[in-house]
Amino acid sequence: MGVTSLSRRVPRCWRRSAIPLIIFTLLLLYLWAQSLRALSGCRSGTQSCIAKGLPPFQAQQQSGSLEGLEREEPQCLSPHGMLGRIMRPFRASLNPKGDVELSQYLAGWRELVRFLTPLGSIFSFATSEAFAKVTVLEALVHGPEAAHYTSLATMVAWERPGVAPRHSTRNPGSLTMLLLHRALRWSQLCLHRVATGPPGGPDAGAQCSDAYSTALAPHHPWLVRQAAHLAFLAFPGRGRLLELACPGVKEAEARAALAQAAGTLEDVYNRTQGLLAERRLLQLA
């Protein structure tokens, strides 16, 4: 029986009443999503703010998908473990005054690059770009004007037009920070989705490609976007990524550990996003 013949058997009055019902249902879903956004805790004026709430690991525990984990912390989260080496400096970059300490932020990025580099050509491209930007900012943090590059706030204040001397040889630190900030969002989304994705759902390549479309693709030209999406076809599977992140443990434990690391990156991203938005720097590039 074809679709056409089937549609003829459906009463016309039912079809007329179903269309408004469908529209009304979609409207309710839209209003519900808007109310969740309003209650998310993201400050007005920020762009792509990750909603505050339970950290990914806690949310997964409450959902039951990570139940049965051993209470002992995996070695990868220790100070000498792969994920622990990433999380420790990023956490230290969030100072009590609500600022971001640049030296710790860059140390976290160096560890993140070290983790992402073995994952294939798509991450090699991204990490080489990130490494170059980290090097630029480190030259400022340790350079002759280092006093103005201790934190994100001091850097932005110094680089305002009319503040730094015209003969200054400084690099555009604020712009470099913005580009790193966007790359951090991609990394955070990618790792979080790999850690919390349902069994049998999209593979790691599809999840990280989707994260790229959210965080970086809007800022890249068409050719770069197409090349990136093709590169994700060769992305390693979830098992390989989890093994690199937390070797020698069960998949559920590796997922939980990776979710904790992604939660730390989320905290850093949200703090930086708010500071950049308050100073109207999100549109520098």
Residue 50: closest CA among 174, 193, 157: 193
Shared domain check, 69 and 30: no
**Range with the lowest mean pLDDT among 43-52, 55-64, 230-239, 241-250?**
55-64
| 46 domain-assigned | no
> CB-based contacts of 43: which residues, under 8 Å, 6+ apart?
49, 274, 277
Please indicate, yes or no, if residue 284 is contained in any of the structural domains.
Answer: no
Q: Are residues 87 and 201 in the same domain?
A: yes
CB-based contact 217:228 (threshold 8 Å): yes
Residues 265 and 202 in one domain: yes
34-48, 183-197, 251-265: least confidently modelled range? 34-48
Q: Which of 90, 99, 78, 283 is nearest to 187 (CA)?
A: 90
pLDDT (tens digit per residue) in 219-275 = 889 988 888 888 787 777 888 889 989 999 999 999 999 999 999 999 999 999 999
Claim to verify: residue 170 and residue 145 sit in the same structural domain: yes
> Burial level of 176, CB count in 10 A (0-12/13-18/19+)?
buried
Domain count, the chain: 2
Same domain, 132 and 250: yes
- Residues 99 and 219: their CA atoms lie apart, in Å, by 26
Length of the chain: 285
Phi-psi region of 66 (alpha: psi -120 to 50; beta: other; left: phi over 0): alpha
Q: Chain centroid to CA 256: how far?
A: 17
> In this structure, are 79 and 103 located in the same domain?
yes
Q: What pLDDT is stored for residue 162 in this prediction? A: 59
CATH number at residue 213: 1.10.3520.10
Residue 25 and residue 68 in one domain: no
pLDDT, residue 48, reads 47
Q: Which pair of structure tokens corresponds to residue 181?
A: 């900030």
Q: Are residues 156 and 87 in the same domain?
A: yes
Residue 117 located in a structural domain: yes
Q: How far apart are CA 47 and CA 30, in angstroms?
A: 19
Question: Stretch 13-29: mean pLDDT, rounded?
Answer: 40
Q: Is residue 144, in this structure, part of any structural domain at all?
A: yes
Residue 175 and residue 79 share a domain: yes
- Together in a domain, 20 and 152: no
Q: How far is CA 110 from CA 2, 113, 141, 179, in A?
A: 59, 5, 15, 15
Contact yes or no for 267/94 (Cβ under 8 A): yes
Residue 64's beta-bridge partner residues? none
Instruction: Give the residue among 211, 219, 256 at the shortest CA–CA distance from 235.
Output: 211
Q: What's the domain range around 224?
A: 53-278
Check residues 281 and 69 and name the one with the higher pLDDT: 281
Q: Is residue 15 part of a domain?
A: yes
Question: 10 Å Cβ neighbour count for 251?
Answer: 13
* Run of H or E including 223: helix 222-231
- Sequence letter at residue 256: A
Q: What mean pLDDT is predicted for residues 166-184?
A: 78
Percent of the chain's residues with pLDDT above 70: 68
Instruction: Identify the residue with better confidence: 197 or 64.
Output: 197
pLDDT of residue 125: 59
* Residues 29 and 96 grouped into a single domain: no
* 28 shares its domain with 73: no
